[in-house]
Structure 1
């Protein structure tokens, strides 16, 4: 039987619906920029991104050398910075929840621009097709970033 991971209950059946986990629509209603987050256009774009990435977090693949499932979609150039990119496919990337938090931490450091460039490159590489030889190719670059600033 197919299984999935619940952040609260661990490995569970695919039919499991966590009572403690908010649905994406409930989450979207609480955001300041909820005008787009609950729109049909965003929900479709989000689904398309996840499908194109084969539900795989690109940061985990290219940096950590692991394969993790996408939990969230991230605007590379944040909506609060440039709201014209809200539905721009090339500005959206699917990430694992923990990676998403890490990316936002990098955005608050001097490595913001480096992080933005990496995410753009991940999307570009994905558009050309996944190459297993690329697994973990950015690991050394990220290790050079000073995590003490975070």
Structure 2
């Protein structure tokens, strides 16, 4: 396993790749991340993206997430089809983002269940300019699920 130094200034402990802080400084890392999220909430979610952020707080969205969980049996479709593994969904992704297709915010064919890891990977591809190709792949996964499970109580 690849290792690197703990991100805490002056710490010489080694941590596994993918981790930032050693056990001694993990609490520091957690507090730093909470502060980063608080600043992001203030500067982006609650100001620039207030309309979009507000949508995610509505009971309509909660009901839709529950419906998606049931429809896809709690699975992350990326894990299931692309990784051939079983992973529980953690997030529901809008294939066409709210900012682009507000009218599709509750459209089942625009929503796909993903783990947090794969949701972040999809978002990174969108930011790199690969949104159309990634969207085609996500819709392909939804279509495959419908062909395989759609008519059997899925």
TM-score range, shorter chain: 0.5 to 0.7
Instruction: Give the TM-score normalised by structure 1.
Output: 0.63
Mapped pair 1:42 → 2:64: no
Q: TM-score, normalised by structure 2?
A: 0.62
2-side partners of 1:129 and 1:51: how far apart?
Answer: 16
Provide the aligned C-alpha RMSD in A: 2.2
- Report deviation, 1:128: 2.3
Q: Of 60, 68, 83, which residue of structure 1 is paired with 2:79?
A: 60
Pick 1 or 2: higher relative contact order, CA cutoff 8 A, min separation 6: 1
> Aligned partners of 1:72, 1:41: CA distance in 2, in Å?
15
Question: Which residue matches 1:78?
Answer: 97
Q: What SS does the corresponding residue of 1:129 show, helix, strand or coil? A: helix
Deviating 4+ runs (over 3 angstroms): none
The alignment of Structure 1 onto Structure 2 pairs a total of residues equal to 104
1:94 match: 113
Point out where structure 2 has 5 or more consecutive residues left out of the alignment. 1-30, 32-40, 150-154
Report the CA distance between 1:35 and its aligned residue: 2.6
Structure 1 unaligned blocks of 5 or more: 1-19, 21-27, 131-150
State the shift of 1:115 in Å.
0.7
Shift of 1:81: 1.1
